[in-house]
């Protein structure tokens, strides 16, 4: 049987404090009165300095600590100051745990006071999971302005539609001003062009005042290519595994405990400092972790502990194409204890019946019986042979409760990964579209609506980035073209 959260917490500590937070808080933390606490993990460096770029340039030597951390308590440093780390007297790089990159991914980080915001959601403790009706949106394209603040006037409309949870595609800082969000390179920083940390807090606060939860999509399986300096700080990546999107994160190799702490602290920042109610964990099938106590289980323990301590309802919702019920089964039943999971099989069963498409993974679907199984059990593939994968696929989902499965007939992936980005409205008749809506909202699962789906939006939703390197732009273009033709 897997260890309990209490056993995980007390490992190597002798007490029940959160083990993933016992290392220094990464990044720059403003304490008030011009005092700042700095910590960075650079296990292979012999010297690390803090260079304060502005408003007045000066240098601070960081002191080495256990396991490759460097720390300093800095005086006379205020929010708005720009800084970089200097490694071994040569490389100058932004803070890998930067909370704000207002000048872009290659420029200095900026100190911000995450405590300064005045919240108005003291009475909010969250929603029970079974009450989630999710609306997935992309901040940069949901409105003409493409900002958090521009979403605020639309919240009442979403609430009247019956939406109870607004799900944001990733907002971690990425290169340029336009991006799907899955090329983020500063996991702790809120995209500056969207409105930065203050803008995100205003949106979350406004949702809570309307009785709506906020779900944030986070990416812990890879980082984007441009502005990704993590490998210069430490062994954050591994060559032992590969992902379709970039280098795999080192969750189980040498020094991986500190990598786990980096991403765990990131998750706890979102649910703690930003009052996010749930995290959608992107493509966890791209997280390879052979530890007896893997990152996802440890993260679930920490989130559950925070929820208990604060009296809030906080959830982890996994995206996975593995059809593996162990991710959401309780830890006492040898599961990871995550709270819910996306169920692609429901989408595929509906999509193929309505469109007749049979390319790529759709070749595994096409019968009414499969849709019936999706309704009655959750997964369609529970160990059967998959023609697409050329092997057996999945295990039983009979022990997963309906409220633990998120279903949809459209989402950013299923629309945006098509060659032309067509929405379902371009593929089926209006009557068929209404049938799809009925199948979704009348299911026993947690329904997710993709932005514009409620009024049969016809504008395509294509994958997009705004990298600055022409060679990288062309490489991404070729890669996307190949992926679409293969799928």
Per-residue model confidence as pLDDT tens digits over 152-210: 999 999 999 999 999 999 999 999 888 999 999 999 999 999 999 999 999 999 999 99
- Taking domain 25-110, whether its CATH number is 2.60.40.10 is answered by yes
Tokens 């404090």 label which residue? 17
Supply the pLDDT for residue 13.
34
pLDDT of 460 strictly over 80: yes
Q: What is the mean pLDDT of residues 443-463?
A: 96
User: pLDDT grade, residue 326 (50/70/90)?
Assistant: very high
Determine if residue 273 is left, alpha or beta; phi over 0 gives left, psi from -120 to 50 gives alpha, anything else beta. Answer: alpha
Write out the two tokens for 38: 């700095």
Which residues form the catalytic set?
Answer: 282, 319
CB atoms within 10 A of CB 327: 25
Upper half-sphere CA count for residue 484 (Cβ side, 13 Å): 18
Supply the pLDDT for residue 303.
96
User: pLDDT grade, residue 246 (50/70/90)?
Assistant: confident
Using an 8 Å Cβ cutoff, are 361 and 370 in contact? no
What pLDDT digit, counting tens, does each position of 378-411 carry? Answer: 999 999 999 999 999 999 999 999 999 999 999 9
What pLDDT digit, counting tens, does each position of 345-364 carry? Answer: 999 999 999 999 999 999 99
Supply the pLDDT for residue 476.
57
User: What is the residue-wise DSSP string for 113-137?
Assistant: -TT------TT-----GGG--EEEE
Supply the pLDDT for residue 15.
36
Supply the pLDDT for residue 479.
60
Supply the pLDDT for residue 70.
98
What pLDDT digit, counting tens, does each position of 196-245 carry? Answer: 999 999 999 999 999 999 999 999 999 999 999 999 999 999 999 988 88
Q: Where are the domains of the chain?
A: 25-110, 129-486
pLDDT of 61 strictly over 60: yes
Supply the pLDDT for residue 178.
86
Supply the pLDDT for residue 7.
56
Using an 8 Å Cβ cutoff, are 177 and 466 in contact? yes
Instruction: Report the C-alpha gap between 356 and 116 in whole angstroms.
Output: 54
Beta-carbon contacts of residue 367 (< 8 Å; ≥ 6 apart)? none
Supply the pLDDT for residue 17.
40
Query: Containing H/E element for 475?
Result: helix 470-486
Instruction: Report the C-alpha gap between 110 and 32 in whole angstroms.
Output: 16
Instruction: Report the C-alpha gap between 330 and 47 in whole angstroms.
Output: 44
Supply the pLDDT for residue 22.
64
Query: Mean of the per-residue pLDDT values for the chain?
Result: 92
Q: What CATH superfamily is the domain 129-486?
A: Glycosidases (3.20.20.80)
User: pLDDT grade, residue 117 (50/70/90)?
Assistant: very high
- Give the three-state DSSP class for 429: coil
- B/e letters for 104-142, b = 16+ CB within 10 Å, e = fewer, are bbeebbbbbbbeebeeeeeebebbebeebbbbbbbbbbb
Q: What is the mean pLDDT of residues 11-31?
A: 67
């Amino acid at each position: 049987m897997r260890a309990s959260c209490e056993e995980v917490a007390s490992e190597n500590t002798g007490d029940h404090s959160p083990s993933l937070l016992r290392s220094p808080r990464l990044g720059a933390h403003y304490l008030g009165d011009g005092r700042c606490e700095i910590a960075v993990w650079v296990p292979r460096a012999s010297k690390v300095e803090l260079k304060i770029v502005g408003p007045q340039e000066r240098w601070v030597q960081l002191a080495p600590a256990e396991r490759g951390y460097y720390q300093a308590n800095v005086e006379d440093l205020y929010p708005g100051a720009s800084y970089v780390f200097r490694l071994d007297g040569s490389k100058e790089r932004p803070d890998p745990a930067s909370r704000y990159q207002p000048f872009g991914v290659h420029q200095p980080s900026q100190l911000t006071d995450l405590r300064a915001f005045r919240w108005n959601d003291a009475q909010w403790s969250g929603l029970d999971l079974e009450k989630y009706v999710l609306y997935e949106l992309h901040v940069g394209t949901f409105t003409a302005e493409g900002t958090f603040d521009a979403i605020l006037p639309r919240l009442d409309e979403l609430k009247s539609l019956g939406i109870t949870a607004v799900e944001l595609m990733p907002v971690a800082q990425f290169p340029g001003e336009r991006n799907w969000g899955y090329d983020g390179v500063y996991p702790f920083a809120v995209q500056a062009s969207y409105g930065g940390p203050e803008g995100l807090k205003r949106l979350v606060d406004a949702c809570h005042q309307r009785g709506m939860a906020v779900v944030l999509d986070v990416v812990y399986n890879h980082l984007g290519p441009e502005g990704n300096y993590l490998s210069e700080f430490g062994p954050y990546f591994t060559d032992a595994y590969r992902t379709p999107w970039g280098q795999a994160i080192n969750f189980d190799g040498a020094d991986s405990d500190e990598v786990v702490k980096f991403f765990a602290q990131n998750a706890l920042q979102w649910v703690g400092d930003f009052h996010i109610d749930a995290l959608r964990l992107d493509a966890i099938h791209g997280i390879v972790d052979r530890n007896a106590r893997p990152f996802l289980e440890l993260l679930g323990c920490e989130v559950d502990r925070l929820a208990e301590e604060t009296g809030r309802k906080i959830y982890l919702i996994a995206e996975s194409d593995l059809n593996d019920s162990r991710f959401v089964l309780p830890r006492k039943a040898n599961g990871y204890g995550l709270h819910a999971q996306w169920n692609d099989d429901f989408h595929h069963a509906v999509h193929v019946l309505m469109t007749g498409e049979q390319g790529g993974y759709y070749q595994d679907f096409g019968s009414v019986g499969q849709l019936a199984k999706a309704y009655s059990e959750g997964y369609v593939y529970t160990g059967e042979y998959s023609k697409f994968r050329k092997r057996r696929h999945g295990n039983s989902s009979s022990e997963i409760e309906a409220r633990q499965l998120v279903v949809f007939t459209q989402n950013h992936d299923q629309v945006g990964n098509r060659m032309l980005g067509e929405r379902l409205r371009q593929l089926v008749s209006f009557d068929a579209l209404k049938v799809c809506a009925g199948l979704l909202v009348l299911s026993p699962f947690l329904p997710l609506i993709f932005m514009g789906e409620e009024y049969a939006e016809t504008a395509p939703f294509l994958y997009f980035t705004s990298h600055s390197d022409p060679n990288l732009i062309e490489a991404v273009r070729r890669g996307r073209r190949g992926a679409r033709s293969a799928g």
